[in-house]
């Protein structure tokens, strides 16, 4: 008879061994609305519009340690994390506007097994988006 413990169970195979942190997020969540920049091409012209994405989430800046792990050229960028209990329709390189600033999605992390999703964003200095450029 083989004794099976946590080290023998892959994380994606048994939800019973993975801590679900949804309850811990409940006290931190706040209503948030991103304006997602949507690009469409019609008649060889690119047009941009903003589609609202409303959800409950947590906005937090990267810690010093998280920034230290970034390449030297990226450490001075303004990095942020967004945690949500639901998957947002965002993929890397999407542009969103939030509280008057524009951000670019750099990564999406699916921690649904733990009860949340994590998004890494940077302040978008180039200013691509509705009403900018053409």
- Write down the pLDDT at residue 51: 93
pLDDT of residue 133 exceeding 70: no
Q: Tell me how far apart the alpha carbons of residues 112 and 126 are, in angstroms, rounded to a whole number.
A: 32
β-bridge pairing 45-61 and 30-42: antiparallel
* pLDDT band with cut points at 50, 70 and 90 for residue 88: very high
Any residues with CB less than 8 A from the CB of 90 and at least 6 apart, and which? 34, 36, 53, 96, 105, 108, 119
- pLDDT > 60? residue 58: yes
Q: Judge whether residue 121 has pLDDT over 80.
A: yes
55 HSE (CA, 13 A, CB side): 19
Whether 86 has a pLDDT exceeding 50, the answer reads: yes
Domains, the chain, with CATH or none = 18-123 (2.40.10.270)
pLDDT of residue 134: 42
Percentage of residues of the chain with pLDDT beyond 90: 46
Rounded distance, CA 55 to CA 1, Å? 48
pLDDT of 47 reads 87
Q: Which three-class secondary structure state does DSSP give residue 85?
A: coil
Pair type for strands 79-84 and 116-123: antiparallel
pTM to 2 decimals? Answer: 0.75
């Amino acid at each position: 008879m083989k004794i099976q413990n946590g080290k023998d169970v892959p994380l994606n195979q048994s939800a019973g061994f993975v801590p679900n942190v949804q309850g811990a997020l409940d006290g931190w969540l706040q209503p948030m609305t991103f304006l997602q920049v949507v690009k469409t091409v019609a008649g060889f012209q690119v047009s941009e519009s903003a589609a609202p994405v409303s959800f409950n989430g947590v906005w937090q800046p990267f810690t010093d340690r998280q920034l230290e792990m970034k390449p030297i050229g990226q450490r001075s960028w303004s990095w942020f994390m967004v945690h949500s209990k639901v998957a947002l329709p965002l993929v890397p390189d999407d542009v969103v506007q939030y509280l008057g600033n524009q951000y670019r999605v750099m990564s999406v992390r699916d921690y649904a097994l733990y009860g949340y999703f994590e998004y890494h964003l940077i302040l978008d200095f180039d200013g691509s988006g509705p009403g900018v450029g053409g």
